Structure 1
């Protein structure tokens, strides 16, 4: 085909192209995507506020069982975790060495007693001779001195007998009070050292104390609770997600504030008649702060902080969110008490805040 034959079709095609390009372009409607969020309706309620302190449980009465003499364990008389009464035999040590020491001390005492008796008779004879002017005064004085030395030797021998007798008695280790023993740290044949080796621990399980540290700014508050008391105990114990049913009482507010940390030791006692607590458990002591009527509580996840101020996103009727400043009262657990900025019935965003901006449209989910 020649060039002249193709020309009309090319012109026609070009005209069509120009016509399409020069025509009026239709606007494309773009639907703004709504941001999915979870909302919650603001409600007012009566609330009790608590301060919480990490604490460790200690026994009201607990003691480590240590031997008073060195030796080897020959017998264990109680099982681990057993209940024992005061004076009950717990451990026995090998008495052979201490028996020998006692017998040696007893023999020394007998020899000293014999020497003292002879010195006493000699002194009596010399006193009689001195009265008759039959001997020199120096001889009588020497006899009196020998008697005093013999008396001292006898007293020392007597003390050695008492010490050896006590050591022999200490090979049998008894419970100092009624309670429950723990797991034994010694076995039959174990070597133990006087005053150092911890054989076991005995404690009373009628109740425990929760020990924690509070800031020095709260000293006056706890001091008032200790001296004046309260009609209802403000102390409660939380174990994980469970609240211990029995309230506690403040038994100790330390007299010294740690200068390094600025904190003071506090001890609260809890009864445990059902023996559900154990020494060394970690717990949370909840101290009732105050009770508020008609307080607005919001989830902590709904509140953001900017330059020391707190804000929430409030969702309007048209599903538009607006950021609003609030006055935060205090935080309790996962909730925050609000004293100003919100009204009951308003809807706030509690999830998906990181994707929001002022005036954004949201897809509300409850």
Structure 2
């Protein structure tokens, strides 16, 4: 017999109550949520070296404009544009015939002066002999002596003129004053050149090169205090515009003697080896200057660091498996690892994976052991500045005992 609508309406609240009771019983049986798994590791303990970043350009230690020292017509060019030349190598020849003719004339004048000198000596000897026999006067002897001195002076002047003309002949051969890379020839053979005015080409030295950059007054003071007053000699590393690693090594060799009062900076310079000539003067580069002595530091992955308002924090897992938060002071980056100045100890178990699942102090987690890989060699990839004044750091040696004790 079918039920009336009133009976069906009376059973609906009963069914809802039974369903709610069943759900409530399931919730009581489920209990608290399960502990989430995370990966933990003790901080890597390693000796590192901080670096400061600068931007600058490469410069040639020597840059010479080649000008002739003789006037005449250019006869030949003895190099290929852009080649490496050595000091003393012949670069240009100028028509030497006018200079050679002048040299021949000077030599003829020297020969005439020498003949006059020989005659003056003979006449003086004769006059002295006659004067000894009272056949010549004292005045005649003195005149012969004056003539001898004049002839000697004429010979000296003729010899100097010969040397000058020899120099002029030599100046018709233009040689490289330094070793380096030569530019293109700016004058073609057949054109007239003027002594000390016409620029024939230029030469720049290529090994080593200078790298010039500007640093702040604060950094200068830091380096001087750190190095006992001496600012030069610190190691540097440089990368070119298209390079991802700082592969060019050098040393700081010069800091200017005054601060630029307008910019508050001081000019500095490093010396960089360039044996194959790959780096050209004028190239742009990034330089890292050693900003500290090697020191032992704690390192954790940069991804393990979280932001809590104005603080930087890491999450650790205690012995009971509970999450705790630790405010930290950050240092520079080494690859994907961050130096921790303070806030944790070498024995703390830092969450290096799963931070997003455990970002609640006091939460229970399942700690799985992990390991932070050792950092060796210089940092390859450029990183943005972190905490002033040092923007980057590199590992100095292999992992320390603290790294071997990770768990």
TM over 0.5: yes
Per-residue CA deviations over 1:207-251 (Å, capped at 9, x if unaligned) read 322133443534455764646x6xxxx30113225234131123x
- The yes-or-no answer on 1:277 pairing with 2:279 is yes
Contact 1:253-1:264 at 8 Å conserved across structures? no
- Could you tell me which of 293, 299, 313 is aligned with 2:298? 293
Spell out the pairing of 1:1-366 with structure 2 (5 A cutoff). 49-60=50-61, 63-176=64-177, 178-214=179-215, 215=217, 216-217=220-221, 218-219=223-224, 221=226, 224=230, 226=232, 234-240=235-241, 242=243, 243-250=245-252, 252-254=253-255, 256-257=257-258, 264-290=266-292, 293-294=298-299
Contact 1:296-1:339 at 8 Å conserved across structures? no
2:291 aligned counterpart, secondary structure = strand
Q: Which moved more, 1:217-226 or 1:238-247?
A: 217-226
1:247 aligned counterpart, secondary structure = strand
Shift of 1:56: 2.7
Contact 1:212-1:265 at 8 Å conserved across structures? yes
2:120 aligned counterpart, secondary structure = helix
Structure 2: distance between partners of 1:184 and 1:244 = 35
Structure 1's unaligned 5+ residue stretches are 1-43, 303-309, 315-325, 348-366
Shift of 1:71: 2.6
Give the 3 Å change call, closer, same or farther, for CA 338–90 of structure 1 in structure 2. same
Shift of 1:273: 3.6
Q: CA RMSD in A?
A: 4.2
Give the 3 Å change call, closer, same or farther, for CA 56–246 of structure 1 in structure 2. closer
Shift of 1:313: 11
Give the 3 Å change call, closer, same or farther, for CA 313–268 of structure 1 in structure 2. closer
Give the 3 Å change call, closer, same or farther, for CA 64–134 of structure 1 in structure 2. same
Contact 1:257-1:263 at 8 Å conserved across structures? no
Structure 1: distance between partners of 2:56 and 2:192 = 36
Give the 3 Å change call, closer, same or farther, for CA 129–331 of structure 1 in structure 2. farther
- The structure whose residues are more often strand, as a share, is 1
2:249 aligned counterpart, secondary structure = coil
Give the 3 Å change call, closer, same or farther, for CA 68–200 of structure 1 in structure 2. same
Shift of 1:174: 2.2
Structure 1: distance between partners of 2:342 and 2:242 = 30
Structure 2's unaligned 5+ residue stretches are 1-42, 314-327, 344-349, 360-407
Contact 2:298-2:339 at 8 Å conserved across structures? no
Per-residue CA deviations over 1:328-348 (Å, capped at 9, x if unaligned) read 97999xxx999799x99699x
Shift of 1:83: 3.1
Structure 1: distance between partners of 2:312 and 2:256 = 47
Structure 2: distance between partners of 1:258 and 1:155 = 55
* TM superposition score normalised by structure 1: 0.61
Shift of 1:260: 5.2
Contact 1:297-1:338 at 8 Å conserved across structures? no
Contact 2:57-2:285 at 8 Å conserved across structures? yes
Per-residue CA deviations over 1:159-215 (Å, capped at 9, x if unaligned) read 101110111112011234554322223222344333343322334534322133443
Structure 1: distance between partners of 2:164 and 2:129 = 38
